[in-house]
Structure 1
Amino acid sequence: MFTDRHNAIDLTKGFYVHFSNGFDPLVHPEAETFLRGIMLRDVVCSEFQGVDLFLSQYKVCTEGHASMRVFVHDVVVINENLSRDGAIQVLAKATARFRVSRATLEKFFPRIIDDEELAQQLIGKEYAIQYDKVFHFKHGRVFQHESQVDFCNSMLQMAQNPFVAMKLLEASLMTKHGHLKVDNRIEEDMNQLENTVL
């Protein structure tokens, strides 16, 4: 069991190494190979299913920002003694930093792009999202993942104005779990997960 726990922690850390600058399959094809090696093809989260959509989320997010950096702060096994089916839950606490571009506003805040004055204020700014992610491992592979983000605070910090932050939150295509509703296969809370942590 110690080896399984250690392996799950190493794989989670490996994920953050491979995806620390987002995901561009042409520049870093090994990131996709790595992810497909550690996740089941039909891996599930609350808002979508499948490793293809997981990769798509990272690709769209990377393409839609001038820059993206992800820093992991802590990776630990949690609820060790509660698992009856041998599943291992790994909690990662991380920060994602994004630099806003015009594409960011067009793709993820589409109602903002018509407000050129606000758009000009936002382009070039950086926002940081604190988030927790739990990978659920069984037999050395991720079968389920869940996340929790603090998007509200990140918008407030970037805007430095509660009214602008509210406008951004209302215009955003981000779900409460940190996924982007840029695909009709992504729907908030569409899947019921078992043994959730967040």
Structure 2
Amino acid sequence: MTRPLIIGLTGSIGMGKSTVAEMFERHGLPVFDADAEVRRMQGPEGELVPAIEAEFPGSTGPDGVKREALGVQVFGDPAALAQLEAIVHPAVAARRAEFLIEHGGAPIVVFDIPLLFEKGGQAQVDKVVVVSAPAKVQRARVLARPGMTPEKFAHILELQVPDAEKRARADFVIDTGVSHAETEAMVQQLIAQLLIER
């Protein structure tokens, strides 16, 4: 039996990746959301909570991981961040493998992975789709988020592969700087193309 074609969906902060992931899902493609999986595993009674508390005392509570408290302990500390990633990444990889087995009969599956290029995830997918929008659109979207500041935004961008480089390395680019309907039409067209190609 042939396995599904695996699409790696990625894009920098504020580019509309979650919106595009929802469009793929609406059009019948199973989508694995890495961020949502991490939130679940770090939430109330989440399986990663004990390990995170053991490594970073005081970073969890009855509602799971206290993101701000954990952030204080790992922010700007590469060694601490690496320790956290060593707890989180294998668990997410295991969930992704289960997802692939569960949807083994689907022609195409989508892995929604924010840091696909940053963490070398492109090696585990067949095609990369990058979601992109003009820089001014991205900036306006991000700065409209609660608690976001220009400084925080600049720091996040520093940690991410630049949008131009992501676009250059992509197999396909979905533009979200246009109307919702135009973006959705691009998604539909891409699905149709991939179904023919596979």
Same fold (TM over 0.5): no
When the two structures are superposed, what TM-score results if normalisation uses the length of structure 1?
0.27
Q: Which has the higher contact order (CA 8 A, sep 6+)?
A: 2
Q: Which has the higher helix share?
A: 2
When the two structures are superposed, what TM-score results if normalisation uses the length of structure 2?
0.27
Q: Which has the higher strand share?
A: 1
